[in-house]
A and B are shown apart, each in its own frame.
Chain A
């Protein structure tokens, strides 16, 4: 079956770095997405990886290893506004997104 695993909750300190891991199993693969979702709001797009390696975009970076079925989202210089849920989603061979349950990130001062 298809499955996405990511930690339920993580806590980090303002100004620090945090890495949110995601492992996936899908029928076919057309890329890995990361979304940020603040409470009561719709998800917003953060990154898309389809090739192995690291994609850097400002304070956020996303890594993909297709052979390992593994991705991570790296957040640097954490700010209080980064407190949110981070959703990992893999696109299968039918171009459908398979969603993880999300990782709630709590930032402490």
Chain B
């Protein structure tokens, strides 16, 4: 199957700093990438959908100025958590959809801990 990578796998940062998470589709072109957040023992929550070359579409309740998404190429999307606070600590997962397929391929996730 198709491979999606995420970097970093985990990050610990101080409150107030910004953190950038990269999501890459390694062997296919992803016209659409999705960013999810998952709190412990809860289901995936879609944060935003990003299409290559256009602005991301954010879900209701997700602050677009806090969670900056850039999808500059068909293989790379980035999520930047600006001025992170402890309540932003979560498991962030990206997924990518192959232009020729409906299936979403997930990255391994990034665990963010904000102190």
Contacts and interface: CB of A to CB of B under 8 A. Distances in A.
A87 B49 contact: no
A42 B93 contact: yes
A70 B93 CA distance: 27
Nearest to B105: A45
Given A87-B43, A87-B44, A102-B43, A44 B104 contact: no
Given A97-B104, A102-B43, A42 B1 contact: no
Interface stretch (B13-21, B72-80, B106-114): B106-114
Query: Main SS of chain A's interface residues?
Result: loop
A101 interface: yes
Interface string B89-106: 001010001000011111
Interface residues of B, number: 20
Given A31-B102, A33-B103, A41 B108 contact: yes
B61 to A, nearest CB: 16
A66 B23 CA distance: 34
Contacts of B68: none
Contacts of A43: 44, 93, 106
Of listed B43, B46, B108, residue having the most chain A CB within 10 A: B43
B102 A91 contact: yes
Contacts of B46: 96-97, 99
A100 B42 CA distance: 10
B43 A100 contact: yes
A95 B108 CA distance: 22
A10 B104 CA distance: 26
Contacts of B103: 33, 45, 48
Nearest to A48: B103
A96 B102 CA distance: 9
A30 interface: yes
Given A41-B109, A42-B93, A42-B107, A95 B43 contact: no
11 contacts: A30-B102, A43-B93, A45-B103, A48-B102, A50-B102, A87-B44, A95-B32, A95-B102, A99-B43, A101-B42, A101-B43
